[in-house]
Chains A and B, each alone.
Chain A
Amino acid sequence: MVRLNVFLLLAVVACSLGVVTSQHKARKVFQALEAEQERARQLEIEYGQLQLELSTWGTAPRIEKIARERLKMSTPDTARVVSATPAGGPSR
């Protein structure tokens, strides 16, 4: 009788220690998940900000300004335009 009780007591202690460690592990893992999710949100925000930056740099007025001023580009004169028709006859 005594031996059984001692055995059961040890089993209970072992189980409760197991519960404690697994709970602890679960929390650790959960916090890691939380951190990753937070990072995902941050990256999402950063993506939005980069998109904003992309469209700000890529606005038509800026492109035109650079093309005209820095790259010295201009619309070709009509006299210099040659219309190319695809082989097999003129287009519509």
Chain B
Amino acid sequence: MMRFKGKVAHRFAESPLLRLSLPPWRSRLLALMTLGAFTVLIGRAFYLQVLNNDFLQEKGESRYRRDIEISASRGRIADRHGDVLAISTPMKSVWAIPSAASLTPEQTRQLAALLETDVRHLTAKLNSERTFVFLGRQIPPPVADQVAALKLPGIGLDKEYRRFYPTGEMTAHMVGFTGVDDKGLEGVELAFHSQLLGQPGSRSVIKDRRGQIVEDVGSTKPPQDGQDIRLALDSKIQYLAYSHLKQAVAENEAKAGGVVVLDVRTGEVIALANWPTYNPNNRETLSGAQLRNRAVTDTFEPGSTLKPFTIALGLESGKVRPDTIINCAPGRLTIGNATISDAHPHGALSVAEVIQKSSNVGSAKIAAMLPAQKMWEMFNDVGFGQQPRLGFPGEVTGRVRPWKNWRPIEQATMAYGHGISVSLIQLARAYSVFARDGDLPPLSLTRLDSSAPAGQQVFSAKTARSVRAMLEMAVQPGGTAPKAQIPGYRVAGKTGTAYKLEGRHYAKKYISSFVGFAPASDPRLIVAVMIDEPSAGKHYGGEVAAPVFASIMSSSLRTLGIAPDAPLQVAQSPAAAKPPAAKARL
């Protein structure tokens, strides 16, 4: 071991630098500053982690937390027996963000093939300036899965719903349809849109790396599916009405037609059909004529179908009795400078026969006994000039001019249904005052489960019954519409043949109509038929519309299992039905 002996030449502690004595405050200051800096850091950390942590918390969560929207489906529309008329089923939409979507020509070709579009069309969409484009909508899920399997950049899929109408054109005007965004555009789809519409829900979840949901965080809002609507419509009767109408329009080479079937006891709309119609599942070539729900949105001058109301008012006010004799000779009546005429002149007719033979002169003479105000009030009471309040889009009120400026000739023509316009559904509903005991029930598109609402009394039960008896005569031999007879049932009804107004003049074009109900002993159904411009030779209501009424009514009564109320007899031979045809009139 080596030892130092004597004085060591140089010692560490004697470094000249250390020999400098610095003032002690310098080191203290430095220590203090370091401490201060740490305090600030700790304070900041405390502030961020404890006092004001929302921002960072949110930022952190946004890395793994996702808000998911849960879609709700639109309600179903079903008929009164629960058969589905409209239903939504999920489909996919394919979208692209053009700036992010850079596809190879091969990929574009594949995508175009899957979406069944043109390659050039697709390329144009992908090169557009917009930030977001839909490449295809309402794509069936299997196809959408194939698109997803291509794993193309900038292309995504979304869930959406498509509406299907299994009954197609048969119920098109009643049910209507929705647009691509599930918005009701026509018919019941529009009328009950707010009830059918669902409310989408939402939930926030934590997703893991593989995109699987791991945990629910925060509150979830469950989706509210739209309500199902149960219509009063009976799809069997709707089919019968639709197919008979379609056939009649074709046979008579008519322009259009409409049928309304009402339940007498409840005021429910059992069937409503129009021709021309459309297929709501394929609406690519739609015309306005096809879309029009004529029975509700079109008005026409009803013609003779309005006579029973004039007669009923006459009976009600005590001016006439069913057996009062009205002189209808010589088949013409001049009021002012206008002349009313019967198609075939009659002599003296009883009030009942005025209905049976449909005499214009007779009706005009009875109307002349009635004050204009009373007649106007009666028209309003049975719903003419009033909204039917079905909630249907485009419902019309029809036209009944205020009584104060009626001229005598106008009152006379209104007595037999000219100078006044109504829709087919108004006409059908108005006849329920005769089918029931003088009261008018509100109409209902939806099925009524509780008891039927009370109607508003318009005529006394006695008046309603005697008009009912007259309407039954109109259908029997000697009346205007023996073709409306149904074997096994007593039928009551009235024909109408009206000239069409074109501009300000009546053209030689007709609207044939028939409104009736059965069984007459205890009415259950009202059927109203309207055929627009029959042009195959026949145009009288008794020839054109009455047979349609008979076929719809007889098959509907059979479908509903309503017991016959008349002794069965062999159906009338064509020869027996011929003479009344000549007697049919305006």
* Chain B residues near A51 (CB-CB < 8 A): 76, 84, 87
* Chain A residues near B341 (CB-CB < 8 A): none
| Interface residue tally on B, bucketed by range | 35 or more
* Chain B residues near A64 (CB-CB < 8 A): 239
A42 to chain B, nearest CB (A): 10
One of A1-9, A10-18, A54-62, A66-74 contacting the partner: A54-62
Q: Which residue of B lies closest to A51 (CB)?
A: B84
Given the known A-B contacts A30-B215, A83-B568, are A78 and B487 also in contact in the complex, defined by CB atoms under 8 Å?
Answer: yes
Q: Which residue of B lies closest to A46 (CB)?
A: B89
DSSP class of A's interface residues: helix, strand, loop or mixed? Answer: helix
* Chain A residues near B61 (CB-CB < 8 A): none
B361 to chain A, nearest CB (A): 38
A83 pairs with B564, CB closer than 8 A: yes
A10 to chain B, nearest CB (A): 30
A11 to B558, CA, bound (A): 83
Contact check: which of B167, B236, B238, B239 meets A55 at CB < 8 Å?
Answer: B167
A51 to B75, CA, bound (A): 13
A45 pairs with B212, CB closer than 8 A: no
A36 within 8 A of B: no
A21 within 8 A of B: no
DSSP class of B's interface residues: helix, strand, loop or mixed? Answer: mixed
Q: Which residue of A lies closest to B558 (CB)?
A: A75
A59 pairs with B166, CB closer than 8 A: yes
A92 pairs with B565, CB closer than 8 A: yes
B214 pairs with A78, CB closer than 8 A: no
Instruction: Pick the most buried of A26, A31, A55, A91: most chain B CB atoms within 10 A of its CB.
Output: A55
B170 within 8 A of A: yes
B89 pairs with A48, CB closer than 8 A: yes
Q: Which residue of A lies closest to B571 (CB)?
A: A78
A20 to B239, CA, bound (A): 65
A27 within 8 A of B: yes
Contact check: which of A26, A30, A48, A78 meets B568 at CB < 8 Å?
Answer: A78
Q: Which residue of B lies closest to A55 (CB)?
A: B166
A71 to B586, CA, bound (A): 45
Given the known A-B contacts A60-B170, A83-B564, are A52 and B83 also in contact in the complex, defined by CB atoms under 8 Å?
Answer: no
* Chain B residues near A81 (CB-CB < 8 A): 487-488, 568
Q: Which residue of B lies closest to A45 (CB)?
A: B90
A48 pairs with B88, CB closer than 8 A: yes
* Chain A residues near B521 (CB-CB < 8 A): 92
A60 pairs with B89, CB closer than 8 A: no
A73 to B164, CA, bound (A): 31
* Chain A residues near B83 (CB-CB < 8 A): 55, 58
Interface residues of B in 543-584 (CB under 8 A from A): 555, 558, 563-565, 568, 570-571
B522 pairs with A92, CB closer than 8 A: yes
* Chain B residues near A52 (CB-CB < 8 A): 84, 87, 89, 164, 166
A79 within 8 A of B: yes
A49 within 8 A of B: yes
Instruction: Pick the most buried of A27, A48, A54: most chain B CB atoms within 10 A of its CB.
Output: A48
* Chain B residues near A75 (CB-CB < 8 A): 555, 558
Q: Which residue of B lies closest to A26 (CB)?
A: B215
Q: Which residue of A lies closest to B565 (CB)?
A: A92
A45 to B235, CA, bound (A): 24
* Chain B residues near A26 (CB-CB < 8 A): 215
A31 to B214, CA, bound (A): 7
A12 to B167, CA, bound (A): 69
Per-residue interface assignment for chain B, residues 167 to 210, with 1 indicating a CB less than 8 Å from any chain A CB and 0 otherwise = 11010000000000000000000000000000000000000000
B213 within 8 A of A: yes
B138 within 8 A of A: no
B252 within 8 A of A: no
* Chain A residues near B488 (CB-CB < 8 A): 78, 81, 83
* Chain A residues near B89 (CB-CB < 8 A): 45, 48-49, 52
Per-residue interface assignment for chain B, residues 503 to 538, with 1 indicating a CB less than 8 Å from any chain A CB and 0 otherwise = 000000000000000000110000000000000000
Interface residues of B (CB under 8 A from A): 73, 76, 83-85, 87-90, 164, 166-168, 170, 212-216, 235-236, 238-240, 243, 487-488, 521-522, 555, 558, 563-565, 568, 570-571
Known A31-B212, A34-B213, A60-B239; further 16 A-B contacts with Cβ < 8 A: A30-B214, A34-B212, A51-B87, A52-B164, A54-B84, A55-B87, A56-B166, A59-B166, A59-B167, A59-B239, A75-B555, A78-B487, A78-B570, A78-B571, A81-B488, A81-B568
For this complex, 22 residue pairs linking A to B, each with C-beta atoms less than 8 Å apart, are: A26-B215, A27-B215, A30-B215, A34-B212, A34-B213, A45-B89, A48-B76, A49-B89, A51-B76, A54-B84, A55-B87, A58-B83, A59-B168, A59-B170, A59-B239, A61-B239, A64-B239, A75-B555, A78-B568, A81-B568, A83-B563, A92-B522
Interface residues of A (CB under 8 A from B): 26-27, 30-31, 34, 45, 48-49, 51-52, 54-56, 58-61, 64, 75, 78-79, 81, 83, 91-92
